[in-house]
Structures are given as C-alpha cells and as structure tokens.
Structure 1
Amino acid sequence: MGQLNNPHRTQSTSLSRLVRNIAINRQLIYQMVKRDVIGRYKGSVFGVAWSFFNPIFMLVIYTFVFSIVFKAKWAGAASDSKTEFSLILFTGMIVFGLFSEAINRAPSLVISNVNYVKKVVFPLEMLPIISMGSALFHSFVSLLILLVAFILVNGYLPWTAIYIPVVFAPLIILSLGISWFLASLGVFMRDVGQTVGLLTTVLMFVSPIFYPLSSLPQEFQGWVALSPVSFIIEQARAILIFGLSPDWQGLALYAIVALLFMWLGFAWFQKTRKGFADVL
C-alpha cells in the first residue's frame, strides 16, 4: 500500500477479474469492514453492543406504534397477534435496511477516501464491497434478533429459514452494482448523496414494508413491484414468517437482472475512475 499509484491507468471491467481481486484482498476487506463497524460506535459506552440494542428497540417501537396505536392488522397473516404483525414488519425493514444503508453510503465512498485515490495503491473497487460488508453485519444482527423473537413467540422456527442466503444474495448483488455506479457519480456530482437519501425515503413507503403487496389495488401492484426491494421483501417474509418455499423462478430472474446491473455498475466505476484524481 505504500507504492505510488497511477490513477489514470485503464482498469479491467471483467467480472472474473473482480472475483479474483476479492479473493486476493479478502483479508483487507475483512479488516476494513471490522474497522468500519467498530469505528461507528467508537467512544460510546456500549460500543458494538449498540448494533444489538438498536434493532431490539426498533422492534419494540414497531410493535407499539403499528399494533397498539394504529391497531393495524396484516392481511393474510395466520392470526391477529400484535407480535406477529411486528415480526412481519420487522422482516421488511431488515431487507430495506440492507439496501438503503449500502445505497445511501455509496455516493460518499470515494470522496471520503481521497488518499486512496491519489497517494497509494489501493483497490478502489473494493470500497462498495467493504460498505456492503458493514451493512451485512448489521442486517445479520437484526436477522438474529428476528429469529430469536420468532422462536420465543411461536416455539419453533420454520425450516424454510435455511433459504435466507439464497433470498438475500440477489439483493446484495444488485446493491453492489448500484453502489459502484453511485460511488463514481458522487465524485463528479456532489448533490447525488442528498438525492439518493430522498429517493430511498420515498422508496421505503412505495415498497411493501408496512403493507402486503396483495392489499393494494390491482392497478398499483405492478408499479410497487418495480421497487428493487419489493420482491425480496415478499420472499423474505415467505421463508421467515410464513414457512413457504421461495419463488425459485422469480429469484432466478431477479438474480439475472441483478448480475447485469452489477456488471454495468462495476464497468461504469472502472471506466470513470481515471477521472477521480483530476476532480478530487
């Protein structure tokens, strides 16, 4: 990392090269993810324990606000239990939280690491992967809390929960592609960060997080289904809450589209990174 870097050299856009680079830099990725997670809670009394307290607190708040204050019920749920409603809602928030954390951080990834661009040899394309690793850590903690809460409430865990990696993988791939695109765009257009924050807020309400997709009028279901997180939210609830097998055909199609977006985002990042040093 102490060697001089030529920021203007042409970078490979090959996905196979990307996979090799990830393997080569796996220790670097691990250390930087660890530093990112710990650094987020640096100076606080409870440290990383906050990553457990926050989702527990939010789960309690969701239960109170939507089940007691609004007396909301989930269409198609097995019962009218307040705890079941909050678990269904929490599942949607976990999926959306993974996507939104990665996307919201993406525009500032390069501009907040200027030294990596100009002074040292550093695989800049790893920055979105490191950010995703941090988001995955927090999502894993939330998932763990969700599963424990489900067991405490119902006394069992649906066997379909083993499909969690299969359901989340396409969303991770898609999020990486978008992150590479936004990380590059954020270097040249500094308003991207604010715009993305606004769009993800809108996306939270136009995705089936607080309501099932089936509860919408038919003419709106198609539009809401276009949200990048809608299908994954529905599939996550199917395997974690309702004990249903995933929609394999839908997941395969989603994965193909996600891989295309990932390659396009990565290729864009690699092609435009030659201009980073000039702008920064």
Structure 2
Amino acid sequence: MAFVGTSERQSSHRSTPGSQLTPWQVLRNLWRYRQLIYQLTVREIRQRTRGSFLDLLWFVLTPLLVMTVYTLAFSWVLKVRWDSAGTPGAPGSYALILFSGLIPFNVLADIFARGPTLVLREPGFVKRVRFPLEVLPVVAVAATLFQSLVYALVLLAADLLLRNQVSSTVLLLPMTYIPLVLLSLAIGWFLGSVGVYVRDIGAFSGLLPQLLFFLTPIAFPLSAVPESLRVVFLMNPLTTIVEDFRGVILFGKALPWGRWVVLTGSSAVFAWLGYVWFAKTKKGFAEVL
C-alpha cells in the first residue's frame, strides 16, 4: 500500500532542525502530513475491525452491549444510585454516569497500552529514511478517538431513550476532547520513543491506567471522596476531563472555562514537550531496531 507524503521531499527522521521544534512548527509539520495521517488512521481502524462487515458491526454493537449490561447490573439488579446533586434520576442513570466516565478514561488507557509499541510494530517505517515517524502516535490517538466518538454517540442515544431528553450543553462535547487529545498525544510521543529503547516499559505503563481508574471519579462522584484525599484526585487531569465530559453530556452543565483553559494550556505544553522528546530521540530508532 502506497502512502501519500512519503516522498523524498519529506523531512528525514534522522535529524530534526531546532527551528522545527517550536509549537507553531509542530502544528505546521502535522498539517503537512495530514493526508498521510488520514490514510494511516483508516488503515488502523480497519485493522482494529479486521476490515470485515461483521467485525465493523461488532465494533458498533460492543458499546451497546456494554451499556445494556451496565444498565441491567447496576440499575436494575444492584439498584446502585449516584449520590450527588444535579444528577439524572431516571432508571439506568447510574449506568449512564458510569459509562460516561469510562469513555474518556478508555482513551488514555488505550494509549498507555499501545504507546510502547507504536514504533516497534512498524520497523518498515523506521527504515524509511524520509518517513515522518512522529505521525505514528497521532494515528493511534486518531483511531482511538474514532472509537471514543462511537461510544459517545451510543451514550447520547441511551440518554435519549432512558430520559427522553438530551441537554443542549452536549454541543460543548468537542471542547472536552481537546485536552484529552493533547494529553494522549503527549503520552503517545513519550511512550512511543521510550518503548524503543526500554522494551519492558509496557509492563509499567499497563499498570498506570489501573491506578488512574481509582484516582478518577468514574464509579463514584467526586463529592464522595474525603476532603483529605480530594486534592489528590484534583491533581489528576483526568478528573477534570471526566467531570467536564459527564457534565456537558448528562448533567446539562456548562464548561468551567477558567479551569478548561488552564487544563488545555498545560496539556498543550505537555504535548509539545512529548513531540520534542520524540523528535530528539528518534534518530537512534533505526540502530536499535
């Protein structure tokens, strides 16, 4: 399969001029490879669904089945309630709330899992002198984002079915994805590089999502966390992302713009640093592989 953008005109992965590491130049570089990113993302999605109609159908049905199981288990059998003010009270509400927290969490969890092998599994690209390796984490994030959006649509459909309404604040949903995508890119660039040199990093990075799950208000409201521990949860950027995602899609809450700007700005800095790290370290990939 031939990919657009792999010609001799593209920048070598053997060296990256310092001028290309400014935030503005990073955006220009990624925009330059947008068609290549699109092609590789389509390929990645097809690989995850195996390219067949039944696998694609299963890809769509999976969140529906998960949503159904959550509703039956937590709302009808266990009768679990979300003890927090301003939450939806219709049957199945806890399942909706739990599922809404898992959607953004699973994006980061997927990148933590795939990050260390993003470069390792593409040795053919590493050996191409002119191939822009920095697009590989972008492709992984884009494919995971596509899956997340499918889950979000299922959540909206379930919310409409169970509560017979969808809040107008759902229009702010794309804004909640911005810091999530930036953090995912930062993790992807960093782990993608480290994974080449430290092959065992995958065992460690695979444990981080499990720790983050218990440090993020996914299965319980933030108000249920003791005051003495709440600061630890608030230091976790995923807490803000989950709270904002859940707020706009289920609770009808507008984004706290001040907090959103701080989170997005800091996430952008981390993404830029991740890109710089990847660009500085990729020159040794071919020798290691």
Instruction: Say whether the fold is shared (TM-score over 0.5).
Output: yes
Which of 112, 124, 140 lines up with 1:131 in the alignment?
Answer: 140
Aligned residue in 2 for 1:199: 208
Percentage of identical aligned residues: 36
**Mapped partners of 1:74, 1:15: distance in 2:** 42
The 5 A counterparts of 1:101-140 are 101-140=110-149
Task: Report how many residues are paired.
Answer: 280
Which of 63, 66, 71 lines up with 1:58 in the alignment?
Answer: 66
**Mapped partners of 2:87, 2:102: distance in 1:** 20
- The gaps in structure 1 that reach 5 residues or longer are none
Q: Alpha carbon RMSD of aligned pairs, Å?
A: 1.9
2:97 is aligned with 1:97:
no
Which of 187, 199, 218 lines up with 2:196 in the alignment?
Answer: 187
TM superposition score normalised by structure 2 = 0.91
TM superposition score normalised by structure 1 = 0.94
**Mapped partners of 2:88, 2:189: distance in 1:** 42
Aligned residue in 1 for 2:254: 245
Q: Secondary structure at the match of 1:241?
A: helix
The 5 A counterparts of 1:1-280 are 1=6, 3=8, 7-11=13-17, 12-42=20-50, 46-76=54-84, 78=87, 80-280=89-289
1:5 positional shift: 8.4
**Mapped partners of 1:16, 1:212: distance in 2:** 39
CA pair 6-128 structure 1, distance change in 2 beyond 3 A: closer
1:33 positional shift: 0.7
1:45 positional shift: 6.0
1:235 positional shift: 0.8
- The gaps in structure 2 that reach 5 residues or longer are 1-5
**Mapped partners of 1:217, 1:99: distance in 2:** 25
AA aligned to 2:248 is: I
**Mapped partners of 2:113, 2:148: distance in 1:** 15
8 Å Cα contact 1:63-1:85 kept in structure 2? yes
1:72 positional shift: 1.6
**Mapped partners of 1:5, 1:175: distance in 2:** 24
8 Å Cα contact 2:81-2:94 kept in structure 1? yes
CA pair 140-16 structure 1, distance change in 2 beyond 3 A: same
1:68 positional shift: 3.8
